[in-house]
Structure formats: structure tokens, C-alpha cells
Structure 1
Amino acid sequence: MPISDIVLTIAALLVVIACSQPLARRSGLPFTVVLAMIGVLLALAAKWLLYTTITDQFNEVASLVIDIPVSSATFLDIMLPILLFQGAVTIDVRRLAKDTAPVILLAVLGVVVALVIIGGAVSFVSSAPLVVCLLFGAIVATTDPSAVIALFRDLGAPARLTRLVEGESLLNDATAIAAFSAFLALTISGGKFDLLNVSSTLSVSLAGGIAVGLIAGRVTVQILAWLRSFRAAQVTITVALPYLIYTLANNYIHISGVVAVVTAGLVLSAFARSRFQSETFRFFQDTLDQLSWWAGSLVFILAALLVPGLLADVQVSDLWITLVAVFAALVARAVILFGVFPILSATRLTQSISTPTKTVIIWGGLRGAVTLALALAVTENPLVDPETKRFIAIQATGFALFTLLIQGTTLTALMRWLGLDQLSPIERAFRSQVLSQSLSTVKSSLRNFAGRYQLDDELVETAMSPYSERLSKVAKDRTFEETISDKERLTLGLVALANQEKSLLFDPRWSAGVPHILIDQYLLAVDAMIDAAREDGRLGYLRAARKPHKHSSAFRILGWCHARMGINRPLAQYLGRRFQLLLINRIMVLELGVFLDTKLKALLGDRPAEILGEILRQRQEEIERHLAGLRLQYPRFARTLDHALLERFAYREEVEQIDNLREAGIISEDLARSLIGEAESIHAVVKPRSQVDFRATTSELLVSFPVFSELSQSELDEITKSLRTRVFADDAFIFRKGDKADGLYFIASGAVEIRIGERVVRLGHGDFFGEMALLAETRRSADIRSISYSHLLLLEANTFHKLVKAHPHWRSRLDEVAKERRAMNEAEKLAKEQELAKLVAIVTKPDNF
């Protein structure tokens, strides 16, 4: 068949596919089921036109449909990789991780159980050998979830139900195809079934696919980061990736290409988004969605065109075998869902799944293109005997048609009957609150619009009347106040804040230039906040929000290397990243405050909004405290990061202004491109990477203190020899009020917090403390603790008193410093006493009673 004819036929089929969407919506059937029906009808019509004696006018058109060169490679090598990759990239990996056990059970154990039960049942009612029956079981164990997922989304099915079916589909095909390859080899060789050999082959294939996918995914993530400014290059890399991995794995490494593609897609889903600019990521998603829609639609309609040919030799007895196979498949899925899942739920290895959800998963196991593609691979293989070809072709095709035409067409009714198309009670109650706000906004906007363009008042009232009626009905609905408690509203608000924080994190004004590892770390923290808010409310949310601020075990190792071995660079890099994380964290929390006031408050009510505001204030205070310590510790590095943030914001504002002028038609596309290119060239200038300004040497540090400025070098050397190193972690107390004065402390690096009553003073790099108790020979008068990783130098009490006696002028200088600090403390104490006295006078004034 000429290439031009193939192109013509594919183009015509794409037009048919596009026109089928409205038909699917009106009929209420899954789109892929409609495509399968249309494909079968097209094939039957083409055969009738080609062989009828009525007319020969349409023979050429009919031959284009019948003779189109569709093989198993068309489905498995061209269509399947992009479909699998798109499904893996778009799934929420972090949410899917919560359902790892059920997904693996459905996809791996479920396939094994299915092929065993189906193969065993078919072997009892047919004359085919057991190996051929198991081969058939592997072929029909591949579920095609595209129709089901589209239906779930249209009906508003629970997100977890959709996630389970999506997760199953990603690994299901991999397991089934690997099993298919093993049983096809046994069928061709005529060997006996060896469970150990089949199991080892499957294990190697799956494990190899996972390894290759992980490596390819991580390498691609690094390439995407390198190509961050080149949209076309990034999208090209990601579209080429599934075909590159699939072909290498299948044809050259001889492992599961399906598993490799799925694993690579999951890696990109987890880590790639922060490597794209926000506009590029949306373009990338849209591109993958469109490609997968074309591929998925063509797969169904092309596979359907093959159905009449595959069923050419069907007999009545074949129908009985197909029905037995379908029943066995339903039983196999029921065994997993109703037999194994309850055990896992009881042992807390997975969340429980409701009976309606299990029922829909069982009935929703539709088979489609992959099943027909594997059957086609058997019929195309010259080493397979004709009887086996006929058996596989008829049974696989009949099985797929039953699931599509019977299960697919009744799935909507089943879901509605089970109530899975309904909102949860909380969402139904929350709906009235959302409607109230949105309808009020629509009415206000409509009135402003009419006033601006001086439209007739009567027409305005007519247009507003439907909204007024709906608004009055919503106003009478008290389910929000009655159904949703304050605790539930608070949980809704916390989840909304976390989701908004995730969205803000991808705003290039804030996140551009932030290392990808920090964005990934932040995303994990936000997901943990969502889960913790749902499970433990505000306490869980705050606990998860504070977790990124705590130092890891790696930090303690780096601190030990710094203090004991003098290795500074790893610790400096760690603290620099921590500083950047806190800066972006601070911006996010401040932006969340605006979001709370402008969006959430009207939806949740005053009391929940007040509590949410207090939670955000607690987060901000925590962040500010850590930041204050780091700013004191690394002042130059802090200024560098602040300057970089301002530069990024200015750059994004400049680009946005140019885009606005272009969209308004004020400037041309060419001028806009030139201006953006100029802004990018300035922004893209590689600046020298700044690092934390780590501690100075001891002698340099002492010279910087005014109290040591008059000492000679020999005296400084003497003091340097007397100093002892002390290292304190974040939040560690250096000493407490009432402790015995052990010496004078100098801050080589880090920051400390001095708390005297309610008064808090923070000191950083180059400051000293602890002299007052030594000079007055009293106990400590305040609590002092480290507020970051602090490297201190201790001049012990005995050595201090020796130096004071030996250097009276040094003693006098320390006395001056101590006097200044004591006077400051007394002044603040007096001010507080006067303020308290005024308050007492106002309260006790007779006029107040």
C-alpha cells in the first residue's frame, strides 16, 4: 500500500475520531467504546462494499480501510510507549505512593491470579493445551483503563478510585506483556510449563525495566534542568524519551520496555516539573495530552478495524469459551479485591476500599487495543501453529468485544446505582458556600458591566434574575453551617492553603533560580502537610510544616567534619541551601496570608479564618526566627540572596509587562520578541556563585573586636592559645539563668538568642557574650541558646581572670561594654515598669466602674 494512501486513511480516521466526541457525549458511552463500535462498523461496511456485486464504485475506498497495514508493531512500538509515558507523567506520584500496596496487588498479583484462573478455566472447556490457555490468560489480563478513567472524571467519581485504576494500568500491561512473552516462547518451543523458569524470566524482565527506567529518568531530569531556557528542546527530549527507552529495553537489552517507560515517566512526574519554566510545563503537558489522545483514539479504531477479520472463522462453541473466560476474569479480580485486600487493610498495610469501589473496579476491567495487539502478534508469528492462531484470535477478540460492548456500556449505570457519581457530604455542603460567593460575584460583575456600557436596566434585571433566584435558594441552604463543623472547615482550609502553596511554588517570580533539590524538598514537605492536615488537623499540619526546618542526620555529620577535621565546604553548601529554603518559605507564607484574606475567609467563615491566620503567624514566627539566626551568621550571603530574589522578580515583571503590551496590540510580535530576548540576555548572565561567609580564623576574629584592638600581636597569640572550641546545634542551650559562669564566649560563626524575661536579643558572627557574670563574679542572669549551627570560642573563667589581672586596660574596656549592656537592660526594665503602672492606673480609675 503506497505511503500516500496510508497517510490519507489515517487522516480520514482522525476526522472520524474528532467527529465522534459529540456522539459519545450525547450517548453517555465511554469515548473509546464509541470508537470501537465505529471501527467495527467501518470494517464491516468496507468488506460489504468490496465484495458486493451491486456496485464497484467504492472498491478503492473500501480497500483503503481493509488493506491498511496494521500490525502488532503498530500498536506496541508506535502507540503504546507514548500512552504509557503520558499516563505515568501526569499521575500524582506522591498521592499514588499512598496506595502502593493495592496498585501492586492489582497490577502484579492480579495479573498472575487472572492468567492462572482464566487459563485454568478455559483449559477445562476447550481442547487447547494448557500453555496456550495460559498464553490466552496473559493476553486478556491487560486492562485498558482509558475508557474507565474518562468516565470516572465525567461522573465525578472519587479521586482515589481513579487513582487506583490509573496506577493499575501503568504496571498491569508491563506484567501481562512480560508473562505473554514467556508463554509465547513456551508455545513456540513446545516445552513444558516450568514455574521456576517463567518466574525468573519475569523477575529479570521487570527488575531490569525498573533499573533502566530509573537511570533514564534521572538523566533526563538533569538534561531538562540544563535546557531550562529552551522550550522546544525540553519538549523534544521528553517526547523522544519513551520511544528511546522502549526500543532499547525491548530490542537490545531484552528486558521489559513497558516497565522502563513507566518507571521513567514516574521519575519525571516526581522531579521534572521544577526543571521546567511554568509556561513550558503547561505546553509540555498539553503536547503529551494531545499526542496520547491521537494515539489512544487511533489504537481503538484501528484495532476495531481488525475485528471482522479476526472473527472470520468463529463458531458457536467459541462463544461458550469466551463467556467462561469473562466469568473467570471477573472472579480473578474479585479474589484479589475481596480476598486479599481485607487482610492488608486489617494489618494496616493499605487503606480500606469500599465495596462499591471494589465492584466498579471489577466490572471496569475493560480490554482493548493492547489485548488485540498481543493477539495479533500471535497470529503474525510464523512459528505458531494455525490452530493456536485461530484460538487466540477468536477468543481474545471476543473477550475484548464483550468487555467493551457489555461492561463498557453498563458501567455508567452501575456507578450511578452505587452512588459513586455523587459528591461526599462535606463537598455537597461546601458547594452551597462556593455557589453563594461565586453567584454574588457574577451579579456584581454583571451590574458593573451593564453600567459601563450603559445597557438597558430592564435587560440587566432579566439577565440577573436566574442568578438572583439561585442565590436566594443557596441563601436558604444551611447545610454548610449545619453539616460542616469548625474542625472540618479548618481541615478544608489547611488543605486549601497547602494546595495554594504548591501552586505558588511554581511561580517563577519566587522559585526561578532556586536549586531544584530545594524545590523537590519543598514539594515533599507540602504533600506531607496535606496528608497531616487530613489526619491530625492543625497540629499535624504545623508538625509537617516545621519538619523541613529541623536539621537532618547529614547535618550532624557535616558539622562533625567541620569542627573536627576542618572540612568546611559541604557544611557551607548545606547551610546555604537551608538559607534559600527559608527565604522561599517565608515568601510563600506571606503570600498565603493574602490568599486567606482574599479567597478563603469568605468561604470558610470568620472563626476558621482567624485560626488559619494564627497558624500562618506561627509558621512565620518560626521561619523568621531561623532566618534571623542565619542573617546574623552569614550577613554577606544573606544580602546576596535578597539581591538575587529582587533581580528575579524584576525580570519576571519586565517580561509580564512586555507580554501585556503585546497582547493588547500596542507592540508587535517582533518587538516583543526582541525586548524579551534583551531581558533574557541580561538575566542569563552567569554570576559568580556566592557561598556562605564561613568563620574567620581565630586571630582575625579577635582583631575585629574593639576590646582587643589595643592588644599587641603577642598578647593576641596568648589569648588565641587559651581559647577552646565549642560547637552547638540549633536550639541547643549554651547556658541557663542561674548557671555558674564558666567563661567568655566569642561567636566565630552562627547566632545566639539571649532571653531575659520577655526580652530577646540576638547576637551573630563577631559578637561576644557572658562577660557580665564573670566581671561581677555572679551566676548567669539570662538563658542563652544557639538559634543556628554555632561555632563558639570559649575563654575559660580561670584564663579570663588571669588576663584581666595582666591587662588592666582590657579589663576597663570590658567594664565599659558590661556597663552599656547593664544600662540598656535597666532602661528597658524601667520602661516596662512605667508602662505597667500606666495600665494599672487606667484599670483602677473609679470612672471605669
Structure 2
Amino acid sequence: MDVTPLIAFAAILLLVIAVSEPVAVRTRTPFALVLTGVGALMGLVLSGAGQGAPLIRPPPSGLFLELFLPALIFQAALSTEVRRMLEDGVPILILAVLAVVVATALIGLAIAPVAGMPLLACLLLAALVSTTDPSAVIGIFRSINAPARLVRLVEGESLLNDATAIALFGVFLLALGSGADAPDLLSAALSLPIPLIGGTLLGVVAAIALLAALRLTRELPSAQVTLTLAAPFVASLPAEPLGVSGVVSAFAAGAVLNLAGPARVGPDGWELICRVWGVIAHWVGAAIFLLAALMIPTLLTGFGWAEAGVTLLIAAAALLARAVILWGALPALALVGAGVPIPNRFRSALLWGGLRGAMTLALALAVLESPRVPDELAGRIGALATGYVLLTLVLQGGTLRWLVRRLRIDRLSPIDQALAREAVAVALQTAREEVSDEGRARGVDPEVLRREARLLGERERAAVAEADRSEGVSERDRVTLGLIALAGRERDLVIAARRLGRVPPGLHQRLLGECDRLLELTRSAGRAGYRRAYRSGLRGPWALRASWLLHERLRISGPLERVLESRFELLIAQAGLLEELHPFIDGRIRRIHGRRVTALLHALVDRRVQETREALDALRVQLPGYAEETEARWVRRTALEVEEREYRALHEDRLLDQELHDRLLGELERRRGELDRPPRLDLMARKAALLRGMPALSGLPDPEIRRLARRLHLRRMSPGDLLHRRDDPPGRVHLIGSGAVSVSARTGAYKLGPGEMFGHISVLTRSPRRIEVRALTHGTLFRLDEDRLRALMRHCPILREHVLERARKLGVDPESLSPHREGRGLFWRVRAGARADLTRLMNSEKDDGAARSG
């Protein structure tokens, strides 16, 4: 087999891609449009312009759907901000799923009366033209510094809408091949989630296996890159036999690797993987357009005036469907807090930027290949789809920049202009300081240094004065500018801490995500957005609340262990980084924005430091032993990172030979593997330890303490929580395990701490509650019912005296506490069988629980 023509063709494609990019930049034309034009021209030449046999044949659609598309989707998931994208999951799913479904329905029903094709064929055509290629509008939004959340929405749409369109395409293609007169839309709608959910699970499984392999090759970057090259295909190829989406599988694998990969690979290996995949994605994306465009002359065979009219109708229906989503579904989501408010000018750009591209052409080739579709009908579908792609690329893609200028999207707001001037002033100040330090270190003539420093200082003062005279910028805006600078400085500190080995890779990614959230919300909502951003991080993610419920209700501790360890690490690192912001405020921000803004920023940072330490203290109070062990593990892991950095530096300086270097790194890897297993969160042991430390229960032996721990329900409390409301019916009794509460009674107010209880008087008298109890600090409570309380009091004289003393303080007759007085008072006298009664009660409850679980 002669492979020379194939190699020559590949070389020509690479040369065309290399030349087309600078042409697109200089002519300010979308790169996809340039590639499409060049590809169509090449296809016309290679097809022999209708003379004799064509020089090329249409590439199989599998080349696009099984080779190019999984690789492209995997790289996009690998490089995007997956954590931030998950926060916008609802609007992204609306754009990626609902928008495709609405577009398919509207386009199919609109062209059915005039297309001269069955309804199923019209819906098939609508499905393959409903997927968008928003690469052009993403590039423009990034170049004009559009809101980051808006860019994420468009990126998320581009990642997931292909899967929806392919799933719908498969449903209609199967129905058309079966000879049905009309599609079963209900069955299609119900079956649509199956390939999406199944593809997600398949991708997650593939990613977990990949992460394990990457961990074994930590010191072999080339092997790690090679493993990731196979990842999208390992995830997507089994999808078709399993009946799930290979596109979603590739995306899920890339997303999981994005979240967990930096911690498993290491900084150098992760940077290499991202660089390699960035180049591959550029080649693959351009090759998709070129190869698909080569088939345009073939696909347009038979395209006439009638097809042109249907194409215009498709375009009108597609714009209408996109408008319904942009002006209907997304604003409705924004009203309930699940969407993002989008200005009308951005909506207009999104509407006009819904270009169609290589994926539509690839699906059109799949129709031509399918034996289920008659040749004449397949040719008509391919011609209409190709015509619509060219229409969007030429008409919409060619005029998108003009529309952006007309909508004034490319103009900076006053606050962005002020931020740019402030950035210039800060850059000049940094240049002056670093040039002076570097010059003295290198022994440059002091007179030359003074002269150049004076020139830089004059430019710096002029820039500061210009930033100070910014028109349309109020003091409130100056605070916002200062907070944006603070968030940027915090991001720089995170990057520097990672470079110095002070934070591990996984924590580094989470800290960068928090900084990005600060920047985004501060730009959109100022001081209130800054507070909202960092306080949402202090409250913890939804996964923390869900894992607490799993732990408390079902005693499943694994998820909570991992989430808590991550949260401890994050709060400890943030508390340290925040202290380094005060010198930055005094040094750079004060010179530009003055003392008043500086004082406000100091107060905001101090408040944030206080709230961060309060969140840490809350975890220490609720989980004292676990918190101590987790903090110790963070210190050890950070020490290992610094130790590894030093060993690598010594090896590069030829002070450590290869054998010793490998042995030291192997030992570090072993110790790191031990630290990767979080400390066990044993609820029973923690309950028993807390109960054993309560003075009121000091009379109970250890076996009964452990039995009691199994029957108690743990509850967490936070400052301000209302734990006990006055005049409510009697409920359960609460023992304070940690923390403090305030009690308001008719006789006065007082505080209770660890080892004390409340609620027992109303339970025993079976009367409405007489006190109101609120939490003063973070802490833990244990809940008791009446029977268990009575059993404890029979056996614990100390607890019995504690209850009697509390009753006297509240003005309650101790004799009235017993529902069975019979002349013996509240408590039965201690008798020889008291211990047996308590043990029998505990065992009967244990047997009842075992019977119910059985």
C-alpha cells in the first residue's frame, strides 16, 4: 500500500491550517470561515470540477464522530473551569438540551409543508442543523472582556449540545429507517436522558482508571501525556455498544480529570498535558472544518432555487428558536436565581453568533452513508444542511464583528477603563521597584539607576494622577476597583504559594476557583458581590451538607471525610493568605485610591479573616479530634511538597545523583500515599468520648456509655440557631456535647455549656416549654427521649441531682416532675436491680433496631 499520497495530503492540511490562521487575524475574519472557504475551494479542485473521476471521496462520518469529536470535547473539558461550570449547570443544560429540542421542533414543523419531504425527514434535518458552533462569538467575547459567566454559558453550550443533537439525530434516523409515518415523540423524549446519564457514568469510570494509571507514572511525564491521549477514545468507543453517548462520555472523562488530575499528576506533568492537548485541539478543530468543507461541492449537488428558499426558512426558524431560549427561558431562570442576567446587547450577539459548522456537515455525511435513507432523500437533506451551514458562516459569521461594534459591546465601561488605568499605574510602580533592585544586584552604575528610576517615577506619577482623575468613577466604584485589585493579588499569592510548594496541586486549583469567583462577583456587584462570594465559600459547598446528612442519617462517613479534609485545607490556606493582603493595601492601593478607601479595604479584609477563623473554630468545636488530625495532615502534606521541590532543585544543580534522587522521591511518594487516606471519622467513638467527658454522666460505666452513644442522635448547631421555643409542646431533651447556649426563662437568663442539658423539665412534667434556648457558638447536641432519660436518672445519682437542682432554680416542685408519684417522688429509689433495668432497656432498643433493619 502506497502511503505517500496520504502523507502528502496530511502535510497539505497542516500547511493550510498554519497559513489560514494569520490570514484570519489580519483580515479580522472568523477562523472557521477562512477554513471553510479554503476547504471548499480545495474540494472543488480535487473533485476534478466534474471532469472524470473525483480525486477524493467523502471521508467516513466516523472520522468526525468517533475520532475528532471525542478528542475535541475531551480537551475542552480538560481546559475549562469545570467547578465554575457546575455552578451554572441549570442554564447550561437549558441551552444545551432544551434549546436543541426547541430548535429541532420549530425547524422541522416550519419546513415540513414546503420541503417536499416526510415529517420524519424534516425532523432529521432539523436535528442535524440544531447544534451550534459558538467558537466565533466566544473569541469575540473574550477579546472584549465580556462577563466570565456569560462566556462559560456559551462554552458549556458548545460542549454539551452536540450530544443532544446526536441523540435526537439517532432517534429520527432509526424511525425513518423503520418506515414509520410519524415519530413517537414521547418515547424519544423519555429515552433522551438515558444516553446522557449512561455516557456520564461511563466517562467517570474511564477517568477513575486513568487517574490510577497516572498516579503510577508520576515521575514519567511522557507516559502521562500518552495515557491522556488514549483517554477520550477509551471513554467513547464502548459507548455505542452500550447504547450511551460517546460525546458525553468523553466530556465526563475530561471533566473528572480536570478536577482530580492536578493532584495526581503534579504541576510539571499537568502543565505538559495541557500544552500538548492545546496544540492537538487546535489541529483537530481546524481539521474538522477543512475535511468537512472539502465535501461541500459533493454535498451541494442538486442545490437549486427551491432548496435556497427552504434554507432561508430553516435560518428564520432557527433564529426564532434561539430567541425563544434567550428572551424566554433564560430570563425566567434568572428570576428564580438559577440563571444569569444577560443584557439585551449580549443576547443579540448570542442570537446572531449561533453559527453552524463542521458537526452539521459530519451528520450530513452520516445521512449519505446510511442505508436506511433513500439516496434521493439523503442527497436533499445533505444539500439543505450544507447550504444552511454556508449561510450562517458567510452571513452571520461575516457580519458578527460589525454587529458587535454596532451594539457597542467592544467598549469598556467606565469602571473597566478606570481599572485599566490603575493597572498601568501598578505596572509602572512594579517596574520601577524591580529595576532598581535588579540593577543594584547586578552592580549597575548608581547614577544610571537614579536617572532611569526618576524617568519611571515620572511616568508612574502621571499614571497615578490619571487613574485618580478617572471620570464617572465614584468612591463606591473606587472601593470596587480596590477589591478587584485585592482579588487579583490573592490570586497571585495562590500561584506563588504553589510555586514555593506551600499548597498541594488539588488545593491550588480550589483556591484559584475561589479567587475567580471573587473577581467575577466583585466586578458585577461591587462590595456586596465580594462579601457574597467569600461568604458562600465559608458556608461550604452543597456536597458538605449532603455528606453530613449521609453521615448522620446513614452513618456513611467516606464522603464526609473527603469533603471535610478539603474544607480544612482550604480554610487554613485562606487564613494564611489573607494576612498578606494588608501590606498590598498599604503599599499600592493607598497611593491610587487614598486613605478612606484603604481603611474600608482593611476593614473588609479584617472581617473576612475573622469569619474565616470562626469557620475553622466551628469545625474544631464540632469535630475536635478529627480537626486536629486533619490540620496535622495538612502540615505534613505541605512539608512533603516543599521537601520534593528542594530535592528536585538539588538534583538539577547536580548535588544529588539520580539514584539517591529517585530513592528520596520514592520515599516521599510512599509517605504521600499514606496521607492521601483521610483520618477515619468514627461517629460512635466521638460520641462516646463526648459523653464520657460530661460530668452529669460520670457515673455510667463504659459499656453503657457505648450503648448510649449508639442510640443518640447528633445535631450540629450554629450561632443564633433557635433550639428551644417557649410555650411549644414538650419535645426531646438535649445534652450539650460542645459549644454554649443561652437560656431565657421567666426567672432570668443564663448560659449552659458542655455536659449540661435543657428541655428535660418540660418533658418530665409533660407541660409546655418554659424557656427559650439559642446557640451562642458552633457546637454539637445529643437528643434524648423521655424513656432513655428516666433510665439514665435511675442509674446516675449525679444526673438525678443535676435535674433536681435545675428544677429548683426554675421554681418547679421536684415532686411534680413524676407522672407516677405514689408517695415516692420523681425518682424511684436506687435498688439492686437499677443497673439491670438500664441494661435491659438498652438491649431491648438494640434488638428492636436490629429487627427493623432485618
The verdict on a shared fold, with TM-score over 0.5 as the criterion, is yes
Partner of 2:398: 409
Q: 2:616 and 2:324 mapped to 1: Cα distance? A: 55
Q: 1:301 aligned to 290, 294, 299, which one?
A: 290
Return 38-47 or 500-509, whichever deviates more: 500-509
* Alignment partner, residue 847 of structure 2: none
Cα distance change, pair 229–472 in 1 and its aligned pair in 2 (3 A): farther
Trace 1:697-712 onto structure 2 (pairs within 5 A). none
Correspondence 1:240 to 2:226: no
- State the secondary structure of the residue aligned to 2:580: helix
What's the counterpart of residue 677 of structure 1?
665
Report how far residue 601 of structure 1 moved. 5.7
The equivalent residue for 1:213 is 200
Corresponding residue of 2:465: 475
Distance 1:307 1:204 in 2: 33
Q: Larger deviation: 334-343 or 107-116? A: 334-343
1:131, 1:193 within 8 Å by CA — same for their partners in 2? Answer: yes
Taking a change above 3 Å as real, the CA distance of residues 417 and 245 of structure 1, as seen in their structure-2 partners, is: same
How far is 1:373 from its partner?
0.6
Contact 1:429/1:479 (<8 A) preserved:
no
Which residue does 2:173 correspond to in 1? Answer: 184
Instruction: Tell me the equivalent position of 2:187.
Output: 200
Q: CA deviation at 1:397?
A: 1.6
Identify which range, 153-162 or 343-352, moves more after superposition: 343-352
Aligned to 1:103: 92
Contact 1:140 1:396 in 2 (8 A): yes
Instruction: Measure, in 2, the Cα distance between the counterparts of 1:465 and 1:519.
Output: 39
1:437/1:148 Cα in 2 relative to 1: closer, same or farther (>3 Å)?
A: same
Q: In the alignment, does 2:588 pair up with 1:602?
A: yes
Moved more, 605-614 or 412-421: 605-614
Q: 1:464 to 1:301 in 2, by over 3 A?
A: farther
- Cα 1:242/1:789, change in 2 over 3 Å: same
Report the secondary structure of 2:192's partner residue: helix
**CA distance, structure 1, for counterparts of residue 455 and residue 90 of structure 2:** 52
Letter in structure 2 aligned against 1:295: V
> Counterpart of 2:577?
591
In 2, the alpha carbon distance for the partners of 1:582 and 1:340 equals: 39
Report SS of the residue matched to 1:432: helix
Question: Does residue 117 of the first structure (1) align with residue 103 of the second (2)?
Answer: no
Contact 2:44 2:297 in 1 (8 A): yes
Which residue does the alignment assign to 1:547? 539
Corresponding position of 1:257 = 246
Code of the residue aligned with 1:34 in structure 2: it is V
Using the alignment, how far apart are the partners of 2:79 and 2:159 within structure 1?
Answer: 11
Do the aligned partners of 1:498 and 1:526 also contact (CA within 8 Å) in 2?
yes
Q: CA offset at residue 418 of structure 1? A: 1.2
In 2, the alpha carbon distance for the partners of 1:147 and 1:294 equals: 17
In the alignment, the residues of structure 2 paired with residue 683 and residue 179 of structure 1 have an alpha-carbon distance, to the nearest angstrom, of: 50
In the alignment, structure 1 residue 350 sits paired with structure 2 residue 339 = yes
1:183-206: CA deviation from partner (whole Å, max 9, x where unpaired): 223333332113xx1341343133
- 1:268-287 aligned at under 5 Å gives the runs 268-269=257-258, 276-287=265-276
Offset from partner CA, 1:443-471 (integer Å, 9 cap, x none): 44345556636489889979997995586
The equivalent residue for 2:798 is 795
Alpha-carbon offset, residue 160 of structure 1? 3.5
Q: Which residue of 2 aligns with 1:13?
A: 13
Residue 490 of structure 1: how far off its partner (Å): 6.1
- CA deviation string 1:655-705 (max 9, x = no partner): 323444566x556995795376355356447479755785777999799xx
Shift in Å, 1:800: 12
Which of 630, 640, 647 in structure 2 is aligned with 1:651?
640
SS at match of 2:237: helix
Change (3 A) 1:244 1:191: same
Partner of 2:74: 85
TM-score between both structures, scaled by the size of structure 1: 0.71
Q: Distance in 2 between matches of 1:394 and 1:784?
A: 71
Alpha-carbon contact 1:145-1:365 (below 8 Å) kept:
yes
| CA contact 1:122–1:133 (8 Å) conserved in 2 | yes
Conservation of the 8 A alpha-carbon contact between 2:214 and 2:227 = no
* Contact 1:446–1:464 under 8 Å retained in 2: no
- The residue type paired with residue 407 of structure 1 is Q
C-alpha displacement of 1:796: 4.5
Quote the residue 1:838 is aligned against.
Answer: none
**Residue type of the partner of 1:27?**
T
Larger radius of gyration: 1
Residue identity over aligned pairs, in percent, reads 29
Cα distance, 1:42–1:595 mapped onto 2, change above 3 Å: farther
In 2: Cα distance, 1:268 partner to 1:674 partner: 26
Q: How far apart are 1:35 and its partner, in Å?
A: 1.6
Query: Kindly tell me: are residues 580 and 294 of structure 1, through their superposed partners in 2, closer, same or farther at Cα, counting changes over 3 Å?
Result: closer
- Structure 1 Cα separation of the partners of residues 64 and 503 of structure 2: 40
Cα distance in 1 for residues equivalent to 2:281 and 2:409: 27
Letter in 2 for 1:365: G
CA distance, structure 1, for counterparts of residue 803 and residue 166 of structure 2: 78
Report the Cα distance in structure 2 between the residues aligned to 1:628 and 1:500, rounded to whole angstroms: 27
RMSD value, Cα? 5.2
Structure 1 residue 313: deviation in Å? 3.8
Q: CA deviation at 1:24?
A: 1.8
Q: How does 1:140-151 map to 2 (within 5 A)?
A: 140-151=129-140
**Structure 2 Cα separation of the partners of residues 595 and 768 of structure 1:** 42
Structure 1 position 23 matched with structure 2 position 15: no
Q: Distance in 2 between matches of 1:599 and 1:415?
A: 37
Distance 1:580 1:312 in 2: 59
Residue 588 (structure 1) shift? 2.0
- TM-superposition CA deviations, 1:576-612 (whole Å, max 9, x none): 9758744651332122221452379624745445444
1:246 partner amino acid: S
The range that moved more, 429-438 or 206-215, is 206-215
Could you say which residue in structure 2 is the equivalent of 1:32?
32
Select between 675-684 and 493-502 the one with higher mean Cα deviation: 493-502
> 2:665 corresponds to which letter in structure 1?
G
Counterpart for residue 371 of structure 1: 360
Do the aligned partners of 1:32 and 1:300 also contact (CA within 8 Å) in 2? yes
Q: Secondary structure at the match of 2:244?
A: coil
Quick check: 1:127 aligned with 2:123? no
Aligned residue number for residue 492 of structure 1: 484
Aligned partners of 1:191, 1:236: CA distance in 2, in Å?
46
Confirm or deny that 1:362 pairs with 2:351.
Answer: yes
2:40–2:297: 8 Å Cα contact kept in structure 1? Answer: yes
- Cα deviations by residue, 1:15-71 (Å, 9 ceiling, x for unpaired): 33123322221111122222222222223343459969xxxxxxxxx98xx426621
Q: Distance in 1 between matches of 2:98 and 2:552?
A: 46
Map of 2:56 onto structure 1: 67
Determine if contact 1:111/1:175 at 8 Å carries over to the other structure: yes
Secondary structure, in 3 states, of the residue corresponding to 2:798?
Answer: strand
Preserved CA contact (<8 Å) 1:20 1:34: yes
Q: Tell me the residue number matched to 2:770.
A: none
Separation in structure 2 between the aligned mates of residue 164 and residue 412 of structure 1, nearest angstrom: 20
SS of 1:795's equivalent in the other structure is helix
Cα pair 2:137 2:349 within 8 Å, conserved: no
Residue in 1 aligned with 2:315? 326
C-alpha separation in 2, matches of 1:112 and 1:541: 34
- Secondary structure (helix, strand or coil) at the match of 1:365 reads coil
**Aligned 8 A contact 2:137 2:353 in 1:** yes
1:156 aligns with 2:142: no
Change (3 A) 1:70 1:415: same
- The C-alpha deviation readout for 1:760-809, integer Å capped at 9, x for no partner, is xxx999x999xxxxxxxxxxxxx99776447899935848999xxxxxxx
1:321 and 1:571 map into 2 onto residues whose CA distance is 60
Amino acid at match of 2:576: L
CA contact (8 A) 2:32 2:289 kept: yes
Q: TM-score, normalised by structure 2?
A: 0.71
- Other-structure match for 2:768: none
**For structure 1, which segment, 131-140 or 362-371, has the greater mean C-alpha deviation from structure 2 after superposition?**
131-140
Residue 388 in structure 1 maps to residue 374 in structure 2: no
